[in-house]
C-alpha cells in the first residue's frame, strides 16, 4: 500500500519555499534572494535577522509582492486539491475542478457584476455565488435522473448547466459590449491584489476545505474500487461523494472568486503526482496541495516577468504549459491505474 513518504513531503515544502522566495525576489525591482529569505524569516515572532534591505525594499516585499505570492500559493493549492478530489470522486484522471459548472457559474457571476451591477469590486462575491449555484444546479439535475445512477449523470449535468450558463453570459456580453474587455480580463485569470484582503478572504475556505478533504482522502481510495465494492466495505458512497464534491467545489469557488479562471492546475498537478508516487489519494492529495501551490506561484512569476513591464494573464501561462501536458496525459491515460 502506498504511503506518504517524508522525502516527497520535504520536496514539496522545498518547492513551495523556492517558489515563494523567487516570486518575492524577482520583478521590476530585483531583490537579493538571501535578503528576501532573511526578511521573510523576520516575519516569524522572535526572529531578528539583518537582511541588508532598505525600507523601500522591505515595503515592496511586505506590501506588494508577498500578498500576491501568498495568494498564488493558496489558489494553486486549492485548485490542485480540488482537482485531485474530483479525479478520485469521478474515477477519472482527466477530471478538473471546473467539471460541474464552477467555471461557467463564476464567469456568469463576474459578468453580472461588471456588466449589469456595474461594480468590479463586487466580482468576487458574484463569482463565488455563481460558482456554487452552478454546482448546486448540476447536483439537482444529476439526481433528477435517479440517486442510484452512476457519476456520469453528474458529469452530463455539469455539461448541460455549463452550456446554459455560458449562453446566458454570451447574451449579457452582447447586450453590454462596452464591458467585454473587462470581463475577459477576469476570465483569463489574474492574481493582482491590493494588499492582503483577497488572501484573508479565501484563507478560511482553504483551511476548512483542506481539513475536510484530507480527512476523507482514505475514502477516495475506497471509492476508486467502485460503489458496490465500497458499500460492501462499510462506506456510504453517495454521502462520501457529496461531502467531497461540496468541499472541493467550495475550494474552487473561493479560488476562482479572487483569481478568475485559471485552467489546467487541477489536471496537471494531481496527475503528475499520481504518475510519480502511485494511485493512492492518501499521497496524491497532500502532495498536490504543495506542488500546486509552487506551480501557480512560478506561473504567476512568469506571467509578470516574461513580457515586463507588461503582464500576461496567468491563465494564458498555465494553458501554455497545460495544453502539451494534456496531450501527454491523453496518450498515457490507458496505462495509468486509477
pLDDT of res. 171: 95
Confidence of residue 275 (pLDDT cuts 50, 70, 90): confident
H runs (alpha helix) in the chain: 6-25, 33-41, 55-59, 66-89, 102-111, 123-144, 152-175, 180-187, 197-215, 217-223, 227-232, 237-259, 265-277, 281-305, 314-332
Question: Across the chain, which distance is largest between two alpha carbons, in Å?
Answer: 65
Q: 117 and 85 in contact (C-beta within 8 Å)?
A: no
Task: Give CA 335 to chain center in angstroms.
Answer: 26
pLDDT band at 145 (very low <50, low <70, confident <90, very high): low
Given a cut of 60, is residue 149 above it in pLDDT?
A: no
For cell 538571501, name the residue.
34
Most confident of 175-184, 224-233, 243-252: 243-252
Higher pLDDT, 96 or 233: 96
Q: DSSP assignment, residue 119?
A: -
Instruction: Pull the grid cell for residue 261.
Output: 479562471
User: What pLDDT, on the 0 to 100 scale, is given for residue 94?
Assistant: 80
* CA-CA-CA-CA dihedral for 173, 179, 181, 184, to nearest 10: -50
**Separation between Cα atoms, residue 164 and residue 154, nearest integer Å:** 15
List pLDDT tens digits, range 305-329.
888 788 899 999 999 888 787 777 6
Please choose, from the candidates 69, 74, 12, 98, the residue with its C-alpha nearest in 3D space to the C-alpha of residue 286: 12
Distance CA 264, CA 327 (A): 12
pLDDT at 226 > cutoff 60: yes
337: pLDDT strictly greater than 70: no
C-alpha cell at 147: 440517486
Q: Is the predicted pLDDT of residue 1 greater than 60, yes or no?
A: no
Q: What is the mean pLDDT of residues 1-14?
A: 86
Helix (H) or strand (E) holding 50: none
pLDDT at residue 116 tops 90: no
Over residues 227-239, the mean pLDDT reads 82
Q: What's the chain's Rg over C-alpha atoms?
A: 20
Cα separation, 280 vs 287, whole angstroms: 11
What is the pLDDT averaged over residues 200-223?
93
Of 218, 214, 216, give the one whose Cα is nearest residue 286: 214
Lowest mean pLDDT among 69-73, 138-142, 250-254, 266-270: 138-142
Ranges 26-40, 173-187, 220-234: which has the least confidence: 220-234
Q: How confident is the model at residue 236 (pLDDT cuts 50, 70, 90)?
A: confident
**Residue 75 neighbours by CB under 8 Å, 6+ apart:** 191, 202, 255, 258, 259, 262, 296
Distance in angstroms (rounded) separating the CA atoms of residues 66 and 289: 19
Question: How far is the C-alpha of 101 from the C-alpha of 137, rounded, in Å?
Answer: 9
Cβ atoms of residues 98 and 318 within 8 Å: no
Calculated CA dihedral for residues 22, 23, 28, 33, nearest 10 degrees: -30
pLDDT for position 338: 45
% of residues, the chain, pLDDT over 70: 95
Q: Indicate the pLDDT class of residue 4, thresholds 50, 70 and 90.
A: confident
At residue 270, the pLDDT reads: 93
Kindly report, residue by residue over 73-101, the tens digit of the pLDDT: 999 999 999 999 999 999 888 888 999 99
Average per-residue pLDDT in the chain?
A: 89
Q: Nearest to residue 114, comparing CAs of 303, 270, 260, 264?
A: 260
Query: What per-residue confidence (pLDDT) applies to 27?
Result: 84
pLDDT over 80 (residue 268): yes
> What domains, with CATH codes, occur in the chain?
65-334 (1.10.3470.10)
Q: pLDDT tens digit string along 155-195?
A: 889 999 999 999 999 999 999 998 899 998 898 898 877 78
| Confidence class for position 301, pLDDT limits 50, 70, 90 | very high
CA distance 132 to 100: 10
Amino acid at each position: 500500500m502506498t504511503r506518504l513518504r517524508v522525502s516527497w513531503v520535504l520536496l514539496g515544502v522545498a518547492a513551495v519555499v523556492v517558489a515563494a522566495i523567487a516570486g518575492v525576489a524577482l520583478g521590476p525591482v530585483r531583490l537579493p534572494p538571501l535578503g528576501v529569505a532573511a526578511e521573510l524569516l523576520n516575519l516569524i515572532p522572535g526572529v531578528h535577522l539583518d537582511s541588508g534591505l532598505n525600507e523601500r525594499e522591505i515595503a515592496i516585499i511586505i506590501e506588494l509582492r508577498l500578498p500576491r505570492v501568498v495568494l498564488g500559493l493558496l489558489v494553486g493549492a486549492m485548485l490542485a486539491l480540488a482537482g485531485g478530489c474530483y479525479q478520485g470522486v469521478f474515477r477519472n484522471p482527466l477530471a478538473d475542478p471546473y467539471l460541474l459548472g464552477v467555471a461557467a457559474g463564476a464567469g456568469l457571476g463576474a459578468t453580472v457584476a461588471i456588466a449589469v451591477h456595474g461594480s468590479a469590486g463586487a466580482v468576487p462575491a458574484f463569482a463565488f455565488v455563481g460558482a456554487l449555484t452552478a454546482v448546486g444546479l448540476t447536483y439537482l439535475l444529476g439526481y433528477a435522473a435517479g440517486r442510484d445512477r452512476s457519476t456520469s449523470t453528474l458529469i452530463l449535468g455539469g455539461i448541460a448547466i455549463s452550456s446554459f450558463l455560458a449562453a446566458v453570459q454570451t447574451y449579457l456580453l452582447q447586450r453590454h459590449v462596452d464591458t467585454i474587455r473587462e470581463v475577459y480580463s477576469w476570465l483569463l485569470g489574474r492574481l493582482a491584489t491590493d494588499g492582503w484582503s483577497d488572501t484573508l478572504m479565501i484563507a478560511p475556505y482553504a483551511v476548512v476545505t483542506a481539513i475536510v478533504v484530507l480527512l476523507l482522502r482514505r475514502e477516495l481510495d475506497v471509492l476508486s474500487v467502485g460503489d458496490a465494492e465500497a458499500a460492501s466495505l462499510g462506506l456510504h458512497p453517495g454521502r462520501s461523494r457529496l461531502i467531497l464534491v461540496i468541499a472541493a467545489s467550495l475550494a474552487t469557488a473561493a479560488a476562482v472568486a479572487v483569481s478568475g479562471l485559471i485552467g489546467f492546475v487541477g489536471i496537471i498537478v494531481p496527475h503528475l503526482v499520481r504518475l510519480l508516487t502511485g494511485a493512492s489519494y492518501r499521497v496524491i492529495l497532500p502532495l498536490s496541495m504543495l506542488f500546486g501551490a509552487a506551480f501557480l506561484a512560478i506561473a504567476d512569476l512568469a506571467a509578470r516577468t516574461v513580457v515586463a513591464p507588461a503582464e500576461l494573464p496567468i491563465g494564458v501561462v498555465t494553458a501554455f504549459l497545460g495544453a502539451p501536458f494534456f496531450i501527454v496525459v491523453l496518450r498515457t491515460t490507458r496505462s495509468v491505474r486509477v
